[in-house]
Amino acid sequence: MQLHKSVQVLQITEVLYFPYRNRFPSMNFEAEILAAPHDNSELYVVPSMRSLTAEEYVEAFKSFLDHSTEHQCMDEFNKEEMPRIMAGLGNGKSMINVLGVGSGTGEQDLKMIRILQAAHPGVLINNEIVEPNPQHVAAYKELVNQAPDLQGVSFIWHQLTSSEYEQQVKEKCINKKFDFIHMIQMLYRVEDIPNTIKFFHSCLDHQGKLLIIILSDSSGWASLWKKYRHCLPSTDSGHYITSDGITAVLRRLGIQYRVHEFPSGWDITECFVEGHPAGGQMMDFLTGTKNFLGTAPPALRRHLQEALCQPECSSKKDGRVIFCNNLSMIVVES
């Protein structure tokens, strides 16, 4: 499907933040979201509604990628900002240590590794990966095996969740430091966001950088979650979190960071076409619910579809409905 080109135009908003240690907002972001006033109290979860399984989520996510510019958005960030970030790493060392947390199948990881290679020609790169899904690990390894341009890069996979990796590091008293750590669209699935960020930040070497990519508060997701989170099935350790929640954690920890906002869009037009298979899968991904259109109460379906058309969620162009999927790239200092 052809997306409207306007969602691929680069617009960067950069915010530099130096934390004040005495002004910390509440860290209970989910409680704040759930307590937010709303006018849809007549809507509710019914027993027939259930959350997506891990396998169903992967399938819905593939459909999302096919119809969105999320990866193009990350490519713009890689082009505009990553060369400068990578150039500042390593501090003249002969080896640069990288850690990917929740790296999936590795496509985005290898793009960043190649930028790092270009910024530091001849320098060895040790790339470690924390990824619990065995299928993703296998696909990542195959991608590496097929790549002819990764000489000087070593790979170590840890088939663990981020919390399991943290536990292993602490139990074995491992004191390895990394020059660059990235956590791309994965903090929604960790059990303890503040302590996860605190731990991986402690793994940074001097002048290292931690990159967190998360949905922006300007995205349609933020509006949707604030209004309808309580109407949808709960997920396993899932957090409805956007960039403001992450920067609140960083302020509380007294850590310096810089935020880069990049636009991204998702063509959800088929959500409004009765009986369209792709539209049904889109609604499943939007709500985290299996067969949402077939199991949700009619009033909830109607309210949600109406909300998706509102300006805070989507824009319209040439008859297409483009959901706002803006991303925040948060670069955290060591």
Residue ranges of the binding site for substrate = 70, 325
Residue 293, Cβ density class (10 Å: 0-12 exposed, 13-18 middle, ≥19 buried): buried
**Contacts with 28 (C-beta within 8 Å, 6 or more apart), sequence order:** none
Alpha helix locations (H) across 88-175?
Answer: 107-119, 134-145, 162-171
Phi, psi of 62 (to 5 degrees): -60, -40
Q: How far apart are the C-alpha atoms of 300 and 302, rounded to whole Å?
A: 5
CB 258 within 8 A of CB 17: yes
CB atoms within 10 A of CB 226: 18
Burial class (CB in 10 A: 0-12, 13-18, 19+), 190: buried
Measured CA to CA, the distance from residue 331 to residue 147 in angstroms comes to: 28
How many residues belong to the chain? 334
Residues making up the annotated binding site are 70, 325
Query: Which are the contacts of 331, defined by CB distance < 8 A and separation ≥ 6?
Result: 81, 85, 209, 210, 211, 257, 258, 259, 260
- How far apart, in whole angstroms, are the C-alpha atoms of residue 116 and residue 216? 26
> What per-residue string of b and e applies to 97-106 under the rule 16 or more CB within 10 Å gives b?
bbbbbbbbbb
User: In angstroms, how far is CA 99 from the centroid of its own chain?
Assistant: 16
Strand partners, 150: none
- Give dist(CA 325, CA 270) in Å, integer: 17
How many of the other CB atoms lie within 10 Å of CB of 177? 14
Strand partners, 14: 260
